[in-house]
Amino acid sequence: MNTSFHLSLPCLDIEATKAFYLNIGATSGRHAQNWTDINLYNHQITFTKAGKFDFNNPNYVFEGKILPSFHFGVIVDEATFRKVYAKLKAQRLELVTKATFLKDKTGEHMSFFIKDPNDYMIEFKSFKIEEDMFKS
């Protein structure tokens, strides 16, 4: 299985952040007014405009769902996604925000989050079309 790393970080300025990463050899992916995806050697970094990050207000809204601004994750194929989700659900672990995002659009993906013992949010993500991971 070929997997890519996903990291989501808050940032102060989307355009300045994007310019910096493009300057160091990354490419730009999907984006909107308050977030941008960066392809850094086939790994996805999502920057969300959140101002100076404050752990007391660590969420943002995407397609009507409240998501954690600070999280990291792994992008897997659909079979692995479903297998991991079923395994964790069977263990009665608290899974957060299982949803399909960007339905019928470029970048459509399933996603869910789980909190680790340190309170870090980990996202499992599976793209409907793997090649859409960085398409804008």
pLDDT per residue as tens digits for the range 5-38: 888 888 888 898 899 888 877 899 999 888 999 9
With 0-12 / 13-18 / 19 or more C-beta atoms within 10 angstroms meaning exposed / middle / buried, residue 2 is exposed
Q: What is the mean pLDDT of the chain?
A: 84
Domain that holds residue 91: 4-134
First to last CA, the chain: 25
| Per-residue DSSP letter, 53 | -
> What confidence score (pLDDT) does residue 109 get?
94
47-60 tens-digit pLDDT: 888 766 666 667 77
Domain CATH code at residue 113: 3.10.180.10
Structure tokens at 12: 């102060």
- Report the relative pairing of strands 121-127 and 71-75 from DSSP bridges: parallel
pLDDT of residue 66: 79
Q: Is 58 in contact with 69 (CB distance < 8 Å)?
A: yes
Q: What is the pLDDT of residue 51?
A: 66
- How many structural domains comprise the chain? 1
pTM: 0.66
